[in-house]
Structure 1
Amino acid sequence: MKEKLKTKFIAFASQKGGVGKSTFTTLVASTLHYRMGYNVVVFDADFPQHSLIKMKARDKAMVMENEYLQKLAYRQFTTINKKAYPIIKHKADDVLHEAQEFVNNSTIPIDVVFFDLPGTVNSPGILNALAGMHHIFTPISADRVVMESTLIFNQLLQDVIMKNGETSIESVHLFWNQVDGRESTPLYAIYNQLIAELGLKLMRSQIKSSSRFRKENEAESKLVFRSTVMPPDERLMKACQLDQFIREFTTIIKL
């Protein structure tokens, strides 16, 4: 008898704003859905900004205004023979129930549901939503404020949510984002040691910083990186080592 597909509930989560939660939700969702053949759904529960809903509107407009991207998108969608993944606006307090209903009623099997959640644990329903994830990934950068906020957040997950037993969380992983090769290597070694001493998990993959990503929003650009309707350009993925991150990510969540 064929084993029933277990849909993965995933969140890129942090208590610190501006560290890349929505960006990584988009990058990974688009890579899995458009390039790797998985069926993805995204729930934008980051009230009140709902940045992914706005991003999808901008992405569609950008494709329509750029002749090169129009051709690229047409070729993509005729090749993979499926639509863009849905981004559904919802509030965090009952987003788990809404997501499960969507999965249960979907005419196609859903492999991964990504949740873009509020950046503060004080938001209504956020702790319950986090407890319902199967895997949580937290981007970090070598900044004291970011690190302090992130370590407090991850210890909350580990010591409060996971220890009470009423959780679906299988793993929580930190990963380095915007790593500048010119920065002091000992600084990362000190932070890595602290993360290990706190019993937190750190991914081997690191996302490198690159000025090339700024070109993605130019009107006549032929490069796509962060988009809800197309996968990131493979050259840009290699430049920042996102390709290595995706391989480790899919191994962790057993996709």
Structure 2
Amino acid sequence: MDTKKKPLFIAFSSQKGGVGKSTFTTLVASTMHYRLGYNVAVFDADFPQHSLVKMKARDLAMVMENETLKKLAYRQFTTINKKAYPILQHKADNVLEAANEFAAAAAVPIDVVFFDLPGTVNTPGILKALAGMHHVFTPITADRVVMESTLIFTQLLQDVIMKKGETSIKTINLFWNQVDGRESTPLYGVYHQLIEQLGLPLMQSQIKSSTRFRKESEADSRTVFRSTLMPPEERLMKACQLDLFVAEFLKIIQL
């Protein structure tokens, strides 16, 4: 009898590109795996770009070229005594089967598998993949196009996939990203009201806008934010309130 604990399947997903799906997958996976002691794996099913597979290759090259990052990485991996989390390239149509097979064969029990999925519901297999998630997190910004696209996507998940009953989804969670702390726009109030009327769950924590979300480690970098090999530096996490987001994220998934 297979008594191995099955991992949680989690996706940062949206129908709108450029809102931070891959970035949040990396940030949360790296925080959990390298800092919080969980074992994670990532399936990059965002065909054809597979940006996370490419990011890991760039991160490896950057660590080898940057003496500061090389020392940080050496210290980290000798302290935690485990390898970098795997990022596996796959297509959406049978990614659930591949993830289950990987978890069953893994030498160490996997706590969470993150999925970086395509940003369009027209992709073959995407609805099946989404239905196989336990938790879906969707970043939103105070932009009309982003909001319209996201609300349609989220209602599709709630009204079509979840109500049919053939799904593993326990929660769908919207959260504000790229919030400008210097700006008080009435749009936030309007969108909050609309989200409430639609009965959609909105996380309390908000991610403040930062150029760090668009930057990977550079040749002369002395700190790490977005990396597949190391967790984001704690001071940088606090600056954009990513620390509060991760705390709320962990409460939701109840690992």
Q: Would you say the 8 A contact 1:213–1:236 is kept in 2?
A: no
Residue 143 (str. 1) matches residue 143 (str. 2): yes
Deviations 1:59-84 (A, max 9, x none): 00111110000000000000000000
Name the TM-score, length of structure 1 as normaliser.
Answer: 0.96
Point out the more displaced range, 178-187 or 145-154: 178-187
Q: Which amino acid aligns with 2:156?
A: L
Aligned residue type for 1:179: V
Structure 2: distance between partners of 1:213 and 1:28: 13
Rate the CA distance shift 1:60–1:38 in 2: closer, same or farther, 3 A: same
Per-residue deviation, residues 36-71 of structure 1 (Å, max 9, x unmatched): 000000000000000000000000011111000000
State the AA in 2 paired with 1:13. Answer: S
Tell me the equivalent position of 2:194. 194
How many residues were matched structurally?
Answer: 253
Q: Higher mean Cα deviation, 202-211 or 245-254?
A: 202-211
Q: Superposed, which structure 2 residues align to 1:80-119 within 5 Å?
A: 80-119=80-119
Q: Does 1:61 align with 2:75?
A: no
Seen in structure 2, the aligned counterparts of structure 1 residues 179 and 5 have a Cα distance that, compared at 3 Å, is same
- The answer for the alignment partner of 1:208 in structure 2 is 208
Residue 244 (1) aligns with residue 244 (2): yes
Distance in 2, Cα, partners of 1:197 & 1:134: 24
Q: Tell whether the 8 Å contact from 1:215 to 1:223 is kept in structure 2 after alignment.
A: no
| 3-state SS of 2:206 partner | strand
Q: Spell out the pairing of 1:10-21 with structure 2 (5 A cutoff).
A: 10-21=10-21
Paired with 2:53 and 2:183, the residues of 1 have a C-alpha distance of 35
Q: 1:215 to 1:50 in 2, by over 3 A?
A: closer
**TM-score, structure 2 as length reference:** 0.96
Between the aligned partners of 1:123 and 1:214, the Cα distance in structure 2 is 26
Q: State, as a whole percentage, how many aligned pairs show the same letter.
A: 79
1:12 touches 1:25 (CA, 8 Å); kept in 2?
Answer: yes
Give the Cα–Cα distance (whole angstroms) in 2 for the partners of residues 194 and 4 of structure 1.
42
Partner of 1:179: 179
SS of the aligned residue for 2:177 comes to strand
How far did residue 5 of structure 1 move? 3.0
Conservation of the 8 A alpha-carbon contact between 1:46 and 1:91: yes
The equivalent of 1:130 in structure 2 is: 130
- Shift, 1:107, TM fit: 1.4
1:7-86 to 2 correspondences below 5 Å: 7-86=7-86
Task: Tell me, in whole angstroms, the C-alpha distance in 2 between the residues paired with 1:253 and 1:5.
Answer: 15
Specify which structure has the higher proportion of strand: 1
- On the 8 A contact 2:23/2:213 being kept in 1, the answer is no
Distance 2:215 2:94 in 1: 38
Structure 1 unmatched ranges of 5 or more: none
Superposed CA RMSD: 1.3
Deviations 1:156-201 (A, max 9, x none): 0001000000000000000000100122243211111110100100
Once the two structures are TM-superposed, the CA of residue 205 in structure 1 deviates from its matched residue by 0.5
Give the corresponding residue for 1:218: 218
Question: CA separation in 2, counterparts of 1:47 and 1:4?
Answer: 30
> Structure 1 177/213 Cα, relative in aligned 2: closer, same or farther at 3 Å?
closer
Check whether the contact 2:4–2:104 (CA below 8 A) recurs between aligned residues. no
| CA shift digits 1:81-117 (9 cap, x unpaired) | 0000000000000000000011111111100000000
1:27, 1:232 within 8 Å by CA — same for their partners in 2? yes
Contact 1:44 1:52 in 2 (8 A): yes
Aligned amino acid, residue 80 of structure 1: I
> Within 1, Cα distance between the matches of 2:214 and 2:227?
13
